[in-house]
Structure 1
Amino acid sequence: MNKIVSTLGVMATVAYSTTVYADEIMSATDNWNQIEQRAKGQTVYFHAWGGSQEINRYIQWAGKQLKSEYGVTLKHVKVTDIAETTTRLIAEKAAGKDSEGSVDIVWINGENFRSLKNNHLLFGPFTQSLPNWQYVDKSLPIDVDFSEPTEGLEAPWGVGQLVFIHDQKTLHNPPQSFSEMLSYAQAFPNRLSYPRPPEFHGTSFIKSLLIELTNNSPALSKPVSNDDFQTITAPLWAYLDKFHKVAWRGGKQFPAGTSESIQLLDDGQIDLAITFNPNAVFSAQASGKLAKSTKAYALESGALSNIHFLAIPWNAHSSAGALVTINFLLSPQAQSRKGDLNIWGDPSVLSSQYLTGSAKHTQQFKSVDEPHPSWQTALENEWLKRYGN
């Protein structure tokens, strides 16, 4: 591994047992200054979802700032599903590539974090040693990710909530529950859909649906078992069998993701788009992708919610540059721009007193907790078996 600062005795390990303690990485401002010096000239490969122009432009802006202020070159490696990166890192581990890795930062949450953590593929803990950690809102659920303890191995980056977007001119009273959504689809065939799992938004849709159909069964907060899965998910498949018959294109085709969902709404082909950003409607309106009459809303029961995170692989080539990048992305400057309703509108993980502009007032809805991460893989596999072809 590329050691961050050799004089600090940084123990960025190949596999952590309780890994590298933050005070061993950096314990004072002087140490951080050395890390910034080490980061100069490094190229940081940032694996992040590339399905949103607004997000891609924001990362481009961050790259320019990092180059100007710290001499760090940020390369956005656009992925359609971060599981691709997880698979790559597992392959590097199997091949014994414990240094000079191809990934320096990964944008993750939930199942992928659990997989990386369990396979000892993460550097850290590092979060509390970041200078900008002081600005993070500690009242947010930043210590767990889909019920998995984060243990300082990933830094919170933003708040996600599953919401729907409708055009108030054509759909004044949108469905307030999944039950109403099915009734609407049956009354108005070919007007509703959701992205195809295992795409993140599609999987989130079926998780939210399962939560409603089971009245948020306590079993969903525990690791999935075969017996529980068959019993608990039976109403889900019964619902989807009915829904697909009257869905957009007869449930034989699904939007690729939130961007296509929003495009279909704007084109008048469907009546509800889906997003995991409660403020995405504002940036889409600002860029001309949606009419000003569109509005985001959550179902009556609330919005499936989680924090999304940034992590550093155990074998990152540019670990110093990765630390400097994540620290910058947690700065009031970067978080205020990310939360700007006309740019990304992603709700910030910083306390609002440190934010400026519209980022101080991003909207959030009542939260619904994520199921245990093991449910995600089980649901995706079963969905693909039943509807993948």
Structure 2
Amino acid sequence: MKKRISAALLAVAIAFSMTACGNNERPKEENKTASVTEEMSFETMKEEAKGTTVTFYGWGGDEKLNEWLDNTFAPAMKETYDITMERVPMDIDQVLSQLSGEIQAGEKNGSIDMIWINGENFRSAKENNMLYGPFVDKLPNFQDYVDAKSKDVTLDFAYPIEGFEAPYGKAQIVMIADTAVTPDMPKSAEDFKEFVRKYPGKVTYPALPDFTGSAFVRNIIYEICGYEQFLDMKGDKETVKAAVEPAMAYLRELNPYLWNEGKTFPDSSTTLDNMFSDGEVVLNMTYDAYGTAVKIADGAYTQTTQSFQFEKGTIGNTNFMAIAANSGNKAGAMVAINEMLSPEIQADRYDTLKVIPVLDNSKLSKEQKASFDGVDLGKGTIPQEELLSKRLPEMPAELVPIIEEIWTEEVAGK
């Protein structure tokens, strides 16, 4: 997910967005599955969902993902289940604002079925009773192919999922450089400081609360302060501020050597990516661990571009699919989510989009494993075994906006 909405903003949305849903009511003939009983079998869900439309709301800024959803996943759903997939590109704050408005207005046949979501957004939505669940226990592919005990599946930014989300894909932050320009890629925070000094004005990171910029700052916090203390830390600002101060001091030391002397930062990871592609800066960063190969293949990056990570590791998380509490097609949404968790679809996403799979390799057949093992990740990527061996856990969701606020106060423009 590329954008977030805080609990406070969500409360405002709930209070003031009641009029936003006046024209969002879906056709009554598609309301076959507005209610799903606990006793309904998956086979019954498939029958109930035939001929219906499932809306899938989520960030629409990834054109390759959009193309895959429209031209691979949607046709598969139509052919196999006679379900029409309707992708609705929308930033998550708008999605949750629309959803809260519909729920507050008493809309039982809501316009939103599936939601691409994680982190603070999931926590806020779940705590405000905006999501349907638990539902993953009803999905055969979740039961057959997902490690239901893995923290990547049971926790979302250290927040208990409790069956209200199903995994969609894994992400992990990596940094990117052109080895022909900067062969000396930093392996630690200390190396990074020397790197910034060696290339003054040519390094920066997205301004928080950009999702990638925020993750980079948290990774620096882990490097400087360690990560264990944050995994069960409560969201008290003074406690968090004291814990992260060494990292904030480090970031302030970087500012004079950054692009625009750290007086301003790129407004988004997309802007930074464009700056890197144009040669304005010599370092990029992304949560899309294998995206470098795609950009090299497309000609956006040079053939000598390479992803890398710190020796101590980089933060990884899982993004998820949830179902709106007032979805007009819960059965259809569950069929679609179940299909997204099939080995065939996960392998195709891995091959086409270079998204880290969410399935448990030990639960796959030899033929299924072969379909994953045969994927060529392309140039400039970190081998998956090495990448995942250095995967660090996310902080509790409640700490993230606090850290972003502290960064704004203590680092931005200092």
Q: Same fold (TM over 0.5)?
A: yes
User: Of the candidates 370, 377, 380, which is equivalent to residue 401 of structure 2?
Assistant: 377
- RMSD of aligned alpha carbons: 2.5
Alignment partner of 1:146 is 2:146? no
Aligned to 2:360: 351
Deviations 1:56-110 (Å, cap 9, x if unpaired)? 2222221222233323222222234x244234333433x2435222321111222
Q: Give per-residue Cα distances to partners, 1:280-313, cap 9 Å, x unaligned.
A: 1122222222222112111111010112111101
Q: Which among 87, 90, 96 is matched to residue 76 of structure 1?
A: 87
The 1:194–1:25 alpha-carbon spacing in structure 2 relative to 1, beyond 3 Å, is farther
Deviations 1:98-130 (Å, cap 9, x if unpaired)? Answer: 522232111122211111121121111111211
| Structure 1 residue 335 displacement after superposition | 0.5
Q: Distance in 2 between matches of 1:256 and 1:79?
A: 19
Question: 1 CA distance for matches of 2:402 and 2:205?
Answer: 19
Q: Which amino acid aligns with 2:327?
A: A
* Equivalence for 1:92: 102
Structure 1 counterpart of 2:391, from 343, 367, 378: 367
Alpha carbons 1:140, 1:349 under 8 Å: kept: no
Contact 1:5 1:35 in 2 (8 A): no
1:308 to 297, 319, 322: 319
Structure 1 residues 3 and 40, CA gap change in structure 2 (3 angstroms):
closer
Aligned pairs for 1:1-389 within 5 A: 2=31, 4=33, 10-11=36-37, 24-26=38-40, 31-60=41-70, 61-80=72-91, 82-93=92-103, 95-133=104-142, 134-138=144-148, 140-141=150-151, 142-340=153-351, 343-352=352-361, 353=364, 354-355=368-369, 356-357=371-372, 358-359=374-375, 363=384, 364-365=387-388, 366-385=390-409, 387=412
- Cα drift, residue 388 of structure 1: 8.5
Distance of 1:84 and 1:242 partners within structure 2: 37
Cα distance change of structure 1 residues 388 and 189 upon mapping to structure 2, 3 Å threshold: closer
**Structure 1 residues 88 and 384: CA distance shift in structure 2, 3 A:** farther
Letter in structure 1 aligned against 2:248: W
Describe the shift of the 1:144–1:217 C-alpha distance in structure 2 as closer, same or farther (beyond 3 A): closer
Q: Aligned in 2, Cα 1:371/1:70: closer, same or farther, shift over 3 Å?
A: same
Q: Could you tell me how far apart the structure 1 residues matched to 2:263 and 2:56 are?
A: 34
Partner of 2:3: none
- Tell me how far 1:249 sits from its aligned partner: 2.8
Q: Distance in 2 between matches of 1:309 and 1:376?
A: 18
Q: For residues 154 and 360 of structure 1, what CA distance do their matches in structure 2 show?
A: 29
Percent identity between the two aligned chains: 31
The aligned amino acid for 1:38 is: E
SS in 2 for 1:317: coil
Measured after TM superposition, the shift of residue 384 of structure 1 is 4.0
My pick for the range that moved more, 347-356 or 109-118, is 347-356
**Structure 2 SS opposite 1:250:** helix
Letter in 2 for 1:350: L
Moved more, 227-236 or 118-127: 227-236
Structure 1 pair 166/144, CA: closer, same or farther in 2 (3 Å)? same
- Give the unaligned 5+ runs of structure 2: 1-24, 26-30, 378-382
| TM-score normalised over the length of structure 2 | 0.81
Aligned residues of 2:340 and 2:346 also touching (Cα < 8 A): yes
Distance change (3 Å), C-alpha of 1:219 and 1:333: closer
Structure 1 unmatched runs, 5+? 12-23
Contact kept, 8 Å, 2:202 with 2:258, in 1: the verdict is yes
The answer on whether the counterparts of 2:173 and 2:288 sit within 8 Å (CA) in structure 1 is yes
Change (3 A) 1:137 1:259: farther
One-letter amino acid matched to 2:274:
Q
**Is the CA contact 1:263–1:289 (under 8 Å) kept in the aligned structure 2?**
no
Distance 1:292 1:140 in 2: 36
1:43, 1:5 → 2: CA distance? 12
Q: Which moved more, 1:377-386 or 1:110-119?
A: 377-386
- SS for the counterpart of 2:187 is coil
Q: 1:52 to 1:135 in 2, by over 3 A?
A: same
Aligned to 2:21: none
User: How far apart, in 2, do the equivalents of 1:195 and 1:264 lie?
Assistant: 11
